[in-house]
Amino acid sequence: MHTPLNRRHFLRSASAWIALPAMESLGFRAFSAPKVSPPPKRMIAISFGYGITNETWFPDPKVTGKEYRLSPGLEPLKRHQSRITVVQGLTNKFSNEGHWGSTFYLTGANRYAVPGTNFFNSISADQVVAEAFGKETRFTSLQLNSADNKDSGHGPGLSLAWNRQGKPVAGMESPLAVFQKLFGSDDAPLAERQRMLLEQRSVLDAVNAQAKGIAKRLSRDDRDKLGEYLQSIREIETRLAKDESWMGRPKPKTELRQPPEVPANGIEEVRLMHDLMIAGLRTDSTRVITYRQPHWNLMKALDIDYHPHDVSHYAPGSRMEASQKRDRKMSELLAELIDKLAAVKEADGSSLLDQVALSFGSNIRSVHSLDNCPTILAGGGAGLGHGRHVVASKDTPLCNLWLTLIRGLGVEAERHGDSTGVVKELLG
Amino acid sequence: MRFSPTPFVLALWVLAPGSLGAAVSAPPPQVRIGEQHRAFLKSYCLECHNEQKQKGQVRLDDLSFQIDTTQSADRWQKVLNQINSGEMPPEDAKQPGRGAKTEFLAELSETMMLARKVIGDQGRKQIVRRLNKREYQNTIRDLLGVELDVSELPVDGGAGSFDTVGSGLSMSSDQFESYLALGRRALGEAMALQKALSAKRVKDHRELETHVNAQQQKQVQAHSDNAKKYADWTRAVDALAALPEHAAAAAEIRKRLSGRGDATPMFYKEWDRLQGTPGVKSFGFNDANSIDFFGRSSAGRYLPTLRNYYEQPHTDTGVYLGCHFVHNHVAHPIPNGWPPGEYVYRYRIAAAPDAPWHRRFVQFGIKGGGLDNFDLISTHEVTGTFEQPQILEVKVRVGTGINRVFSIREKRRIKRGTDNDLFEASFREVGRGPTPVLWVDWSEIEGPFPDASGGPQPVALASKTQDAEGAREVIQRVATRAFRGAALEAEFVERLVRLFEARMAAGDGFEEALKRPLSVVLASPAFLYVLEPNPGPQPRPLDGMELANRLSYFLWSAPPDAELFALAKSGDILKPEVAHAQVDRLIASERFNAFLGGFLHQWLGMERLDFFDFDRLRHRDFDDSMKVAARQEVYQTFAHVVRSGGSLRELLQSDYAVVNGLLAKHYGLAGVAGDAFRKVALPPGSPRGGLLGMAAIHAMGSNGAESSPVHRGVWVVKHLLHDPPPPAPPNVPQLTRLEGQLLTTRERLMAHQQEPQCANCHRRFDPIGFGLENFDAAGLWRTMDRYEKKGIGTKEWAIDPAGRFHRGPAFQNFFELRSLVAAKTETFTRGLTEALLEYALGRPVGFADEALVTGLVREAQQKNFGARQLFHAVTDRAEFRSK
């Protein structure tokens, strides 16, 4: 058959065949590092907002170490038991907001730290890592969201990430938009793109000049507020500079199909985002990814009619069953993600899973409980051994875990948030 | 305020006298834990947490009872959390009595809430604010005449304040880029719209029976064919099975299937076990499964339903609105090539005489893909009869985008699977789908019409010449209007003209090249922020333009229109009587809806109304259309009180309700038909009238199936009695000891009263919630309630609404409860005033505003709590008129 359609189909699959070995052998990172170097470390942090079912999600805290039994809520992770670590006992001690599962999750900040305001936040762990890792990649970090985030117990914020200034970092909720950001090709010729860049700079110059003129006539507090606008412009300028340095290098190819504008349901949504994460990491487009995963959309896909907040206040009966059903589905999806990470081979024969520090959890345990934040770790990125159930000593700051991961990934940091050190139980 | 102030509230009054003038700020109150609680700390905490022992590195003996720093607040927070979680005092230590623990927790959590407020107090600082998402959308609409989809912008507000509060309105680089892209999209739409202004009006009329019935007839034919084929096939199999040589095989199959409900059809599916049966292919099917499925469903489900449809009396002259596979909506697209603009849809429509009330409504909207996907725009009552059909008119604004296929359908839930549920329910009962009851003679689209909203004329985007001079002219015109009085620097214009020239040089046409600089205007700070520059520390009075902006963003969430602009320019707006007249005009306008949806939605916490799909079996009528109507009742009642010069007391209790036909039928109020909301006198003894009688309020205080006395009680103390409880504390253990028991709602929730961690707050609102138990989750009146627990049984009980406010008066029933709340109009007004100020000023109302608030409340009281006067008074105040 020689219809055009089939020809194109053939060409597409052929290019995928060609692209793949080329990537592995020559190293797509050759752009940034001339020599073949060991695969880079990566970080993925996922939060699920409203918590889990206390009674059936945690393994028995009395049985720690390698010989523990997975709980019913974690049962779908059975095939990965040797690849994951379940951690109990971690807490963000300043958190008092029973509906904010993501706002302070990676920051550990004290909402009331600054007198005269009723909201304060500080840099999130992923952004600490991104400051170091992001220099090497086209995108410093990638923040993923779901369209349902505002109803799913994640709390204020635009993503899991908060910048150095403690301001929210924007995230993307459309898998299609993420795909286009990572892989959408810009067919315009180089000269045209250079002119576009120049034009974008003129746009920024125009609004920047206006903002500075206005700022002169404002009070200090107003100037601080308008400072967010100027900071946004500076960030875009930095990004444009980066774009310019990447301009000669085409966006990587991917085998991934372009996702639909709107995912079929919450389960598909999570799977699509997982695939995009992996595609982003394996093409080394970025090394740091956070994800506020859907909660309500996931429940809708499971035909659960309750609002997520209602389920988080489960009582024995249908709401608790709903909560458990959702727990299992979340574990199932996490297990799929681990499968996918393990299936990607790196140039040195290791797997992507070996290079990533993956964390999965929330600031909320269940109901309004903010202690014993549910936490699962996987991947070899931070050099931690797995297959264990770790119960940290009482009142261990959750930020100790983030510090452990930050340092494990090779980023120097004295402390993070309210950390008092690393989680020793995770080392050795 | 409470019925009986606690010692702490008393202290606040003493420390913050209300006699200060508007410009003087009072010092924030001192926050102290009452001395009487020192004994509690000493008895149950200090034994381990003293200077010597410091168990767990915690020392409490040096803890100051005055909480005035973040550090001391954090230490007390820890004490509160430890006691709440039940970890302290430890199990083996001396335990406080229930009463003492309850009182200590009540005091501590109240004091902590206040301490956080005092420490976080922003003073009277009014921080420059960005247009929020709603205001941005409206500002674009007024400037360009385009309804822009702004869903890609982040949601504003979040840390518990209004979306007008400057400090909470942040900016990010992604957002800046969204503004650029959205502005560009809006400009493209606006240019198309302005070109279409001269377009000739066109009309597309459809006699629906010719459009639809032919298709439906084809469906009937196809199903008849299937049914016939199936009948032929089964007859052939039967004949074969009757032959002696197949008797044994047939008997064997029948024996295996015996006892199954579907034994007969299953028998045919095993036809190939009988030798020599004719293949299904010769009957036009691929295999036994498909002939079985299609044949049986055609014969058993589709045909009876379709035949029933055609047995209806008027299918020759029009069509019926069916459901599921039978003509489930009437779509009528705006034909390709028709310009953007305002169009009118018309339908000649009637309801069958025997149609029940809940089926006498249509939904107008956009039909999505899939069987029953639908985006609701509006709901309309069908009052026409076959003898006298009505003409239903709906206006739509059409862009150049893809959403140009509008349709109507019978009102029903907008949820995947609804059509199937309705079909199955009817099928079980009468062996076919529901009988259609709404009939449409024809549908028609006409347009475009000139904009009839009375809103501002969009700024002209055309120019005399198609060159740099022309571009400069347009840029200047658009930026001047877009900046709403803020200065337009020549240098900025020059930069934009150069951008235009760069685009022209790159090969763009004039219009395309203009979009670039104009989209920069729409992403620049002078457009995105409400600027009231004042470098000094002292407040200064606003000028006319600034005041006009404040007024119109307060009451319209939109920029000033031409009239306000003229008054601003002349400076007349600064005169109080002129400002009052303008406030009245803005409130009377339809654009005041933006205030209702912006302020009331946030103030009353109405996002909860969207949390649930209501249980379709228990609350059939509380569907998407009813939710919209219920929400509108809150908005339109408020609007009525303000516009009619009524008293705020009417929001708590009144002898009328403001409803439309749909809601009136839900409430069982006779004699109200049509879609407009209007004031309706209530029969004596009606529980309606005032917020506590509204379906929306009770639906929000439910989980979509059952009422939630806790949510309702919290809502009442927070919004009506201005006594917000502390936020739900973290880490309180769940109550599980009532698992598996069959109890009334009250019995279940009484457990709260026994645990001090729960009781210290729940005693304040649970009793109020019980007093509202006569309303079910959909806000309908009931006297009985029931509880069903799988595997255990069912309990039914008569509702007992009697109760008592915490440290306050008792009530026997809902009506007494409502009267007690209505008697608190002053307290209610204080809460409303604070909320209104925060929304209008764009800053939190803090302790320094005590005198301002008290003054406004006192003035309101003198004016019989006149709602409109409160708006006048707020806009009169120096705080509203200065920056």
Residue pLDDT, tens place only, A129-167: 999 999 889 999 999 999 887 778 999 888 999 999 888
> Looking up tokens 């107008």, which residue turns up?
B364
What's the pLDDT at B854?
94
Element (H, E) at B652: none
What's the pLDDT at B497?
97
Chain B contact present for A120, CB below 8 A: no
B243 CA: distance to closest CA in chain A (Å): 50
* Cβ burial, residue A366 (10 Å; 0-12/13-18/19+): buried
B448 CA: distance to closest CA in chain A (Å): 31
Element (H, E) at B618: none
E strand residue ranges, B289-360: 319-320, 330-333, 341-351
Distance between CA atoms of residues B831 and B58, nearest Å: 39
B121–A116 CB contact, under 8 Å: yes
Evaluate whether B560 touches B484 at the Cβ level (below 8 Å): yes
Q: Write out residues 354-373 of A within 8 Å (CB-CB) of B.
A: 367-371
What's the pLDDT at B227?
86
A162 → chain B, closest CA residue: B172
B493 → chain A, closest CA residue: A206
Closest Cβ opposite residue B730 in set A96, A156, A192? A96
CB atoms within 10 A of CB B753: 15
A236–B489 CB contact, under 8 Å: no
Chain B contact present for A310, CB below 8 A: yes
E strand residue ranges, B208-360: 319-320, 330-333, 341-351
Chain B contact present for A195, CB below 8 A: yes
Top residue of B25, B162, B172 to mutate, by most chain A CBs within 10 Å, is: B172
pLDDT of residue A26 exceeding 50, the answer is no
State how far Cα B46 lies from the chain centre: 49
Strand A356-361 relative to strand A42-47, pairing? parallel
Strand B319-320 relative to strand B438-449, pairing? antiparallel
Question: B274 or A397: whose pLDDT is higher?
Answer: A397
Q: Given pLDDT bands bounded at 50, 70 and 90, which one contains residue A215?
A: very high
SS3 B856: helix
A112–B116 CB contact, under 8 Å: yes
Element (H, E) at B446: strand B438-449
Evaluate whether B808 touches B765 at the Cβ level (below 8 Å): no
Chain B contact present for A10, CB below 8 A: no
Q: Tell me which chain B residues have a C-beta less than 8 angstroms from the C-beta of A306.
A: 612, 703-704
Distance between CA atoms of residues A242 and A31, nearest Å: 14
A33 CA: distance to closest CA in chain B (Å): 29
Closest Cβ opposite residue B170 in set A206, A228, A309? A228
Top residue of A229, A230, A362 to mutate, by most chain B CBs within 10 Å, is: A229
Q: B791 phi and psi, to 5 degrees?
A: 80, -10
Closest Cβ opposite residue A206 in set B56, B127, B495? B495
Distance between CA atoms of residues B586 and B592, nearest Å: 6
Q: Tell me which chain A residues have a C-beta less than 8 angstroms from the C-beta of B525.
A: 207, 210-211, 214, 226, 229
B76 CA: distance to closest CA in chain A (Å): 12
User: Which residues, at least 6 apart from B232, have a Cβ–Cβ distance to it below 8 Å?
Assistant: B283
Chain B contact present for A186, CB below 8 A: no
B728–A225 CB contact, under 8 Å: no
Distance between CA atoms of residues B122 and B28, nearest Å: 11
Q: Tell me which chain A residues have a C-beta less than 8 angstroms from the C-beta of B526.
A: 210, 214
CB atoms within 10 A of CB B400: 15
Q: How far is CA A3 from CA A12, A302, B85, in A?
A: 14, 42, 70
* Residue environment code for B238-263, b if the CB has 16+ CB neighbours within 10 A, otherwise e: eebbeeeebeeebeebeeebeeeeee
Closest Cβ opposite residue B703 in set A155, A209, A306? A306
B159–A218 CB contact, under 8 Å: no
Q: Tell me which chain B residues have a C-beta less than 8 angstroms from the C-beta of A113.
A: 70
B730–A203 CB contact, under 8 Å: no
Chain B contact present for A262, CB below 8 A: no
Distance between CA atoms of residues B297 and B222, nearest Å: 12
Chain B contact present for A393, CB below 8 A: no
A98 → chain B, closest CA residue: B730
Q: Tell me which chain A residues have a C-beta less than 8 angstroms from the C-beta of B498.
A: 202
B70–A113 CB contact, under 8 Å: yes
Distance between CA atoms of residues B467 and B504, nearest Å: 9
Closest Cβ opposite residue A217 in set B177, B533, B704? B533
Type of residue at A423? V
B613 → chain A, closest CA residue: A305
B255 CA: distance to closest CA in chain A (Å): 39
CA angle A298/A299/A302 to nearest 5° reads: 95
Chain B contact present for A228, CB below 8 A: yes
A307–B704 CB contact, under 8 Å: yes
A115–B125 CB contact, under 8 Å: no
Chain B contact present for A197, CB below 8 A: no
Q: Tell me which chain B residues have a C-beta less than 8 angstroms from the C-beta of A150.
A: 155
Using a pLDDT cut of 90, give the percent of chain A over it. 66
Distance between CA atoms of residues A351 and B500, nearest Å: 51
Chain B contact present for A97, CB below 8 A: yes
3-state SS string for chain A: CCCHHHHHHHHHHHHHHHHHHHHHHHHHHHHCCCCCCCCCCEEEEEECCCCCCHHHHCCCCCCCECCCCCCHHHHHHHHHHHHEEEEEEEECCCCCCCCCCCCCCCCCCCCCCCCCCCCCCCCCHHHHHHHHHHHHCCCCCEEECCCCHHHCCCCCCCCCCECCCCCECCCECCHHHHHHHHHCCCCCCHHHHHHHHHHHHHHHHHHHHHHHHHHHCCCHHHHHHHHHHHHHHHHHHHHHHHHHHHCCCCCCCCCCCCCCCCCCCHHHHHHHHHHHHHHHHHCCCCCEEEEECCCHHHHHHCCCCCCHHHHHCCCCCHHHHHHHHHHHHHHHHHHHHHHHHHHCECCCCCEHHHHEEEEEECCCCCCCCCCCCCEEEECCCCCCCCCEEEEEEEEEEHHHHHHHHHHHCCCCCCCCCCCCCCCHHHCC
CB pairs under 8 A between A and B: 196
Chain B contact present for A156, CB below 8 A: yes
What's the pLDDT at B471?
97
A392 CA: distance to closest CA in chain B (Å): 16
Question: A262 or A85: whose pLDDT is higher?
Answer: A85
Distance between CA atoms of residues B841 and A282, nearest Å: 50
Top residue of B731, B737, B738 to mutate, by most chain A CBs within 10 Å, is: B731
B528 → chain A, closest CA residue: A229
* Cβ burial, residue A320 (10 Å; 0-12/13-18/19+): middle
Q: Tell me which chain B residues have a C-beta less than 8 angstroms from the C-beta of A371.
A: 85, 730-731
What's the pLDDT at B25?
53
ipTM given for this complex: 0.85
Chain B contact present for A302, CB below 8 A: no
What's the pLDDT at B481?
96
What's the pLDDT at B55?
86
Evaluate whether B879 touches B845 at the Cβ level (below 8 Å): no
Low-confidence ranges of chain B (pLDDT < 50): 1-24
